[in-house]
């Protein structure tokens, strides 16, 4: 090399090193590699950093930017300074690099020159990336596909009729006793258990066949004035799920009530009574019996109940619940009392049922039972 050529090369080398130290670029397009390591300290607050070529992309290459971010876990990081960019290209500011690198680790196109992953591997990668990217693991809840309804106070407005008939029958049999306060506790109870509680409370003994007398009188009262809950038929038709009835009342009375309310065709033979099991509500026996007979997992059922005993029975069976507070016998403050018990899904009108059940079908109930 001639002395003139050597001097020119040395000058170019110095210009490159000076530009690198000050965050700029060399004026000449000639690229001469370093021949030895530069051990001199860098300025403490550089305006920009140089990145390797593989990490600096034109604005027209967003897919590669996202892909590189995917390789680094979706997080921007300061790269080790490498050879300077092409002459005339400004170094990439660190903030801009962070903006380009901070991409999701999933659903990014594959880098140019590589073949895409098989579909199964992509799906697995996306699942694992979603789990690791979230500080709290996402829970995938079981969706619901079966509807179960209580009968009295949910499908038919019968509780107010049955309570009045029961009170009148008791008062006629025991005229010296006041059953008005005690009759309020009959809500949601099986008739036989309620009468057994009265015997213990008042120290009395019910006449022989008294339960049959009460049931006969209730059936007569229902035949005269029973009406379905407003909008219940349309709501059930809109839900579109297989539906069943689970009640504490006797089976013959439930079937009779469904027939009067023109609901038999919706439920068919899927009608269950606590007289078919050892223990009535609030025990879960009748709900578990219904699920077993229907061949459905209890966790995939949503139950509509009006009484606390019914809600507790369904929850004990592992089913999701919706409380209905729109029947005639429900007191004004009943919904507030349910909320105080931790029950959150409460509806006052039957036209609310389709939307609530649809949320359960989509898995939106989560692990909240009520």
Give the separation between CA 11 and CA 90, rounded to whole angstroms.
21
Q: Give dist(CA 131, CA 139) in Å, integer.
A: 10
Residue 144 near residue 300 (C-beta atoms within 8 A): yes
- The model's pTM is 0.62
Q: At 147, which helix (H) or strand (E)?
A: strand 146-149
Q: Return the pLDDT at 202.
A: 92
The answer to whether residue 69 scores a pLDDT higher than 90 is no
**Higher-pLDDT residue of 281, 6:** 281
Whether 303 has a pLDDT exceeding 60, the answer reads yes
* Residue pair 276/251 in contact by the 8 Å Cβ criterion: yes
CB neighbour class for 224 (10 Å; exposed up to 12, middle 13-18, buried from 19): exposed
Would you state the pLDDT for residue 369?
A: 83
Predicted confidence at residue 39, as pLDDT, reads: 52
**For residues 93 and 199, which has the higher predicted lDDT (pLDDT)?**
199
- Regarding predicted confidence, which is higher, 29 or 343? 343
Q: What count of other Cβ atoms lies within 10 Å of the Cβ of residue 47?
A: 11
- DSSP 8-class letter at 55: G
Q: Return the pLDDT at 88.
A: 46
- End-to-end Cα distance, the chain: 88
Distances (CA, A) of 149 to 43, 63, 83, 291: 75, 53, 73, 13
Whether the predicted pLDDT of 228 surpasses 80:
yes
Q: Is the pLDDT of residue 79 over 90?
A: no
The residue with greater pLDDT, 107 or 211, is: 211
Over range 171-177, report the average pLDDT: 93
| pLDDT over 90 percentage in the chain | 53
Q: Where are the alpha helices (DSSP H) in 88-118?
A: 94-101
Mean pLDDT lowest among 102-111, 228-237, 243-252, 262-271: 102-111
Residue 42: pLDDT band (50, 70, 90) is low
What is the per-residue pLDDT for 3? 52
**Does the pLDDT of residue 302 top 80, yes or no?**
yes
Structure tokens given for 317: 């069976």
Compute the residue count for the chain: 370
Percentage of the chain lying above the pLDDT 70 cut: 61
Q: Given this model, what pLDDT does residue 233 score?
A: 97
User: Phi-psi category of 357—alpha, beta or left, where left has phi over 0 and alpha has psi -120 to 50?
Assistant: alpha
Of residues 233 and 94, more confidence is placed in 233
**Dist. CA 317–CA 205, nearest whole Å:** 34
Strands 320-324 and 301-305: parallel
Alpha-carbon gap, residue 217 to 289, rounded angstroms: 29
Mean pLDDT of the chain: 75
Q: Which residue has the higher pLDDT, 132 or 235?
A: 235
Q: Where are the beta strands (DSSP E) in 189-343?
A: 243-247, 271-273, 301-305, 320-324
């Amino acid at each position: 090399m001639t002395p003139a050529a050597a001097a020119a090369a040395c000058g170019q080398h110095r210009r490159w090193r000076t530009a690198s130290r000050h965050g700029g670029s060399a004026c000449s397009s000639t690229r001469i590699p370093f021949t030895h390591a530069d051990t001199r300290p860098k300025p403490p607050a550089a305006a920009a950093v140089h990145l390797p070529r593989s990490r600096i992309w034109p604005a027209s290459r967003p897919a590669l930017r996202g892909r590189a971010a995917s390789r680094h876990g979706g997080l921007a990081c300061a790269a080790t300074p490498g050879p300077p960019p092409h002459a005339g290209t400004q170094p990439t500011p660190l903030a801009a690099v962070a903006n380009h690198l901070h991409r999701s680790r999933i659903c990014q196109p594959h880098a140019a020159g590589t073949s895409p992953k098989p579909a199964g591997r992509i799906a697995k990668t996306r699942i694992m990336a979603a789990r690791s990217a979230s500080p709290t693991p996402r829970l995938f809840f079981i969706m619901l596909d079966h509807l179960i309804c209580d009968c009295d106070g949910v499908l038919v407005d019968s509780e107010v009729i049955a309570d009045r008939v029961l009170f009148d029958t008791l008062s006629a049999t025991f005229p010296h006793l006041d059953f008005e306060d005690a009759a309020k506790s009959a809500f949601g109870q099986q008739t036989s258990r309620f009468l057994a509680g009265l015997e213990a409370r008042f120290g009395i003994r019910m006449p022989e066949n008294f339960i049959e007398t009460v049931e006969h009188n209730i059936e007569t009262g229902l035949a005269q004035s029973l009406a379905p809950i407003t909008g219940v038929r349309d709501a059930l038709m809109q839900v579109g799920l297989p539906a069943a009835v689970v009640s504490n009342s006797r089976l013959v009375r439930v079937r009779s009530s469904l027939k009067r309310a023109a609901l038999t065709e919706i439920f068919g033979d899927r009608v269950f009574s606590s007289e078919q099991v050892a223990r009535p509500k609030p025990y879960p026996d009748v709900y578990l019996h219904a699920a077993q007979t229907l061949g459905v997992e209890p966790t995939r059922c949503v139950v509509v109940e009006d009484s606390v005993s019914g809600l507790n029975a369904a929850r004990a069976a592992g089913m999701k619940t919706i409380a209905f507070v729109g029947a005639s016998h429900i007191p004004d403050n009943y919904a507030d009392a349910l909320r105080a018990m931790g029950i959150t899904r409460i509806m006052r009108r039957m036209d609310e049922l389709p939307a609530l059940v649809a949320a359960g079908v989509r898995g939106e109930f989560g692990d909240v039972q009520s």
